[in-house]
């Protein structure tokens, strides 16, 4: 009885903060705009074998088709109904993906757009991804159904009906975000429709939700919805397991709304993480890697047990939103790999790896005119499939950062060192740093313009280790640099400032 009570209490404590990852996995990957069929295949052929624990998928519900510009990525953030059909696939393909990913121990997290429907200027008709009719002019969404009674408006007091002042919490929650029809989430009817949508996804087998635009919803309305969600499907998860909740709140400070208001509901996206890490690795604002010694709460970030962290996301990789020019992306591959490598080695937060598609940037006055471009598409504007090349990179303009050797190997590093303390910090006062994770792993960076040759205490058992950045362990050999740890735990590291990747990482599962 006492044990049962203890289990219940522990369950409540971790609950919606726990990503429910399987078999030692510690990271999730955002397969932005991927088709369900490609994600199912990726779970089986790549994610499960390489220790990825879950996938954040693009919104699976019916959305407005936007043709001007031609099929931008953000049309998927303009819901028409909760039917499961989009450019990523139909309901049957979605179900097949969730089943196949769960069967190999990879969780699916759905990007849930519950703050709003499509834009007020979205017109009317049936030009939607599932062919449902809608009329944005009179706020009619018969496929849900929602009517004009289900939207805020009356509670918004700005002249435009849109959010005009982010310093006013009432506007931010009750007015339209850039004209998007704002749902009245205090209404029992609206909550019921959203709960039914999310519970349908849970019954299919999803493991949790990214709550889009959480800043624009009252924390109490979110809780009224999430507290009515079912437990995860017991075909794949222990009975009583709560859905993982992570809320998109862009809080860089200085606004009426703060991340902490959302901690009771689940985890929160820590946007300071990528913005600050970008500054450090780019050496902007006088930052240097030595300052990373107290990274995490020491930098004013939210507490570790509430943070969902990432180097870039689908929005700020386009120069939009939080962080601006400091954000590291695949366009700056050498710096990006250092940033993602640091994130995955450091114990703070639940980590999300970004996986993107390529587009041609067109900067005019520092603003990318092509920030709207949607996924690689065929002539009929259907999304192109992800092809896999012989060297395991992706084709058809899918970047697949998660398949880059350095990033994939750091996902494995994080799994290997999971639960180990942050130890053996070293820095040169500038942009050379190193740290360990107990006796399981060690990483060292040279982000200076001069070479590095140091002997450091790694905390690892004696032996020969494969650097998992320049190569990896294959059979009984290293394909890249080898590092010898002495009987005292020390090792010599030489990193040229012009190395392809100026960092080295070794861990217990890459020991010869």
Q: 285, 441 in Cβ contact below 8 A? A: no
- Whole-angstrom Cα distance, residue 422 to residue 405? 24
Do 172 and 215 contact (CB within 8 A), yes or no?
A: yes
Q: How far is the CB of 459 from Ca ion (least distance, A)?
A: 49
CB 246, CB 310: distance < 8 Å: no
Q: Which is nearer to ligand 5J7, 177 or 201 (CB)?
A: 177
Q: Which of 100, 215, 437, 507 binds ligand 5J7 (CB under 6 A)?
A: 215
Between 156 and 206, whose beta carbon lies closer to Ca ion?
Answer: 156
Give the per-residue SS3 of 320-335. CCCCHHHCCCHHHHHH
Give the one entry of ligand 5J7, Ca ion, none that residue 71 binds, where binding means its C-beta sits below a cut-off of 5 to 8 angstroms depending on kind: none
Instruction: Look at residue 303 and give its three-state secondary structure.
Output: coil
The least CB distance from residue 267 to ligand 5J7, in Å, is 15
Question: Which positions from 151 through 210 interact with Ca ion, judged by CB under 5 A?
Answer: 182
Would you list the DSSP string of 156-186?
A: --SSSSB---TT-HHHHHHSBSTTEEEB-TT
How far does the chain reach from its first CA to its final CA, in angstroms?
Answer: 48
Strands of the sheet containing 422-427, edge to edge, are: 422-427, 432-437, 441-446, 503-507
**Minimum separation from the CB atom of position 221 to ligand 5J7 (A):** 16
DSSP letter assigned to residue 226 = H
Task: Write out the binding residues for Ca ion, residues 78-117 only, by CB under 5 A.
Answer: 115
Q: Is 212 in the site for Ca ion (CB under 5 A)?
A: no
What are the residue numbers of the active site?
A: 212, 248
Q: Which of 139, 216, 337, 440 binds Ca ion (CB under 5 A)?
A: 216
**Residue 189: strand, helix, or coil:** helix
Do residues 33 and 375 make contact, with C-beta atoms less than 8 angstroms apart?
yes
DSSP notation for 58-90: PP-S-BB--TTTTS-GGGGGSBS-S-S-BTTB-
- Give the three-class secondary structure for 426: strand
CA dihedral 76, 399, 306, 417 (to 10 degrees): 150
Asked if 292 interacts with ligand 5J7 (CB under 6 A), we say no
Select 270 or 315, whichever has its Cβ closest to ligand 5J7: 315
Q: Which does 272 bind (CB under 5 to 8 A by kind): Ca ion, ligand 5J7, none?
A: none
What is the DSSP code (8-state) at residue 382?
P
Residues that bind Ca ion (rule: CB under 5 A) add up to a total of 3
Distance from C-alpha of 428 to C-alpha of 144, rounded to nearest angstrom: 59
Smallest distance from ligand 5J7 to CB 231, Å: 27
- Beta carbon of residue 318, minimum distance to ligand 5J7 (angstroms, whole number): 8
Q: Which is nearer to ligand 5J7, 213 or 466 (CB)?
A: 213
| Per-residue binding letters, 458-497, with ligand 5J7 (x by CB under 6 A) | ----------------------------------------
- 171-200 positions binding ligand 5J7, by CB under 6 A: 177-178, 180
Helix (H, G, I), strand (E, B) or coil at 372: coil
Can you say whether the dihedral through the CA atoms of 266, 348, 302, 402 is positive or negative? negative
The nearer residue to ligand 5J7, 75 or 287, going by C-beta atoms, is 75
Q: If contact means CB under 5 to 8 A according to the sort of partner, which of Ca ion, ligand 5J7, none does residue 77 touch?
A: ligand 5J7
501 binds, options Ca ion, ligand 5J7, none, Cβ within 5 to 8 A by partner type: none
Q: Write out the residues near ligand 5J7 by the rule CB under 6 A.
A: 74, 77, 113, 177-178, 180, 212-213, 215, 248, 250, 315, 320-322
Q: Write out the residues near Ca ion by the rule CB under 5 A.
A: 115, 182, 216
């Amino acid at each position: 009885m006492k044990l049962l009570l203890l289990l219940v209490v522990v369950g409540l404590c971790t609950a919606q903060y726990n990503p429910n990852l399987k078999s030692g996995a510690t990271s999730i990957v955002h397969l932005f705009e991927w088709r369900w069929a490609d994600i199912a295949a990726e779970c089986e052929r790549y994610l499960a074998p390489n220790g990825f624990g879950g996938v954040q998928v693009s919104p699976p519900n019916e959305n407005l088709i936007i043709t001007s510009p031609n099929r931008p990525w953000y049309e998927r953030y303009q819901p028409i109904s909760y039917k499961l059909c989009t450019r990523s696939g139909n309901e049957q393909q979605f179900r097949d993906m969730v089943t196949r990913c769960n069967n190999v121990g990879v969780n699916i997290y759905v990007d849930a757009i519950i703050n709003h429907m499509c834009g007020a200027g979205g017109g009317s008709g049936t030009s939607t991804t599932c062919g449902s009719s809608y009329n944005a002019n009179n706020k009619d969404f018969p496929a849900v159904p929602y009517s004009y009674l289900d939207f805020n408006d009356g509670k918004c007091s700005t002249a435009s009906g849109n959010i005009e002042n982010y310093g006013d919490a009432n506007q931010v929650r009750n007015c339209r975000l850039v004209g998007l029809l704002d749902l009245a989430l205090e209404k029992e009817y609206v909550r019921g429709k959203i709960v039914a949508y999310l519970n349908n996804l849970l019954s299919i087998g999803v493991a949790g939700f990214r709550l889009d635009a959480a800043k624009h919803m009252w924390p109490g309305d979110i809780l009224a919805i999430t507290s009515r969600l079912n437990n995860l499907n017991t075909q794949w998860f222990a009975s009583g397991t709560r859905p993982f909740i992570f809320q998109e709140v862009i809080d860089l400070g200085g606004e009426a709304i703060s991340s902490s208001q959302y901690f009771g509901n689940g985890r929160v996206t820590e946007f300071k993480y990528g913005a600050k890490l970008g500054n450090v690795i780019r050496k902007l604002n006088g930052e240097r890697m030595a300052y990373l010694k107290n990274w995490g709460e020491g930098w004013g970030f939210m507490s570790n047990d509430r943070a969902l962290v990432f180097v870039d996301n689908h929005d700020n990789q386009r120069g939009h939103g939080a962080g601006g020019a400091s954000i590291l992306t695949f366009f700056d591959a050498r710096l990006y790999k250092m940033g993602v490598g640091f994130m995955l080695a450091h114990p703070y937060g639940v980590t999300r790896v970004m996986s993107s598609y390529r587009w041609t940037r067109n900067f005019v006055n520092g603003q990318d005119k092509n920030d709207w471009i949607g996924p690689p598409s065929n002539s009929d504007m259907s999304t192109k499939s992800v092809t896999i090349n012989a060297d395991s990179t992706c084709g058809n303009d899918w970047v697949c950062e998660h398949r880059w050797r350095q990033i994939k190997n750091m996902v494995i590093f994080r799994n290997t060192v999971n639960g180990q303390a942050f130890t053996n910090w070293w820095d040169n006062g500038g942009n050379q740093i190193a740290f360990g994770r107990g006796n399981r792993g060690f990483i060292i960076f040279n982000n200076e313009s001069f070479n590095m040759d140091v002997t450091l205490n790694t905390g690892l058992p004696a032996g020969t280790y494969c650097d998992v950045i320049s190569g990896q362990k294959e059979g009984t050999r290293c394909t890249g640099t080898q590092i010898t740890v002495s009987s005292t735990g020390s090792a010599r590291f030489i990193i040229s400032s012009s190395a392809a990747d100026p960092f080295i990482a070794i861990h217990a599962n890459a020991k010869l």
